[in-house]
Amino acid sequence: MADWKQHGIRIVRAGKLDTNTPQTPGMSRAAAITHARTGANKLWAGTVTVQPAARTGAHHHGELETVLYIVRGRARFRWGDHLEFVEEAGPGDFIYVPPFVPHQEMNARPDEPVEAVVVRSGQEPIVVNLDIESPEPAPHGTEPDPFHSKPN
């Protein structure tokens, strides 16, 4: 008989998320579902808060699939070989990012953060930075992004 008490459902409480995960200036990530925390083998889930004017550089996540659910705020996504496609998402919207898709994430609003739930199809924090110039004008006072920046 299986020990479901030890190997069953795990609840990660709101105040117990793990911020020991790669961070980007202007963005706060916190892991909830990881192998170390819950025993998950095929999924990673957590939250991200994107401050006003924050954005990533162009990147992709290798073979990982990513789903975001926007809880609050307005997010803008650019994707394509030249980040030529653009779309915005707001509260209640789901975003699916297929494997290897070049993309950039940003807060579309200058006055409020974006809060989202993120789920990935694997445990590794794969980020492949791409040398693609963004069509978006750079906000004043932005810091370099070591997690999603242009390669040297």
pLDDT at 110: 92
pLDDT at 100: 96
Please report whether residue 20 resides in a domain: no
Please report whether residue 44 resides in a domain: yes
Tell me which DSSP letter residue 127 carries. Answer: -
67: domain CATH number? 2.60.120.10
Residue with tokens 């954005």: 55
- For residue 36, give its domain range: 28-129
What pTM was computed for the model?
0.83
pLDDT at 140: 55
CA distances to 9, 11, 46, 83, 131 from 30, rounded to whole Å, are: 20, 15, 5, 27, 27
Please report whether residue 16 resides in a domain: no
Please report whether residue 98 resides in a domain: yes
Please report whether residue 149 resides in a domain: no
pLDDT at 85: 96
Partners of 103 in the beta sheet? Answer: 59, 79
The residue ranges of the chain whose pLDDT is under 50 are 142-147, 149-152
Spatial CA neighbour of 81 closest among 65, 104, 97:
104
Distance between CA atoms of 97 and 141, rounded to whole angstroms?
A: 28
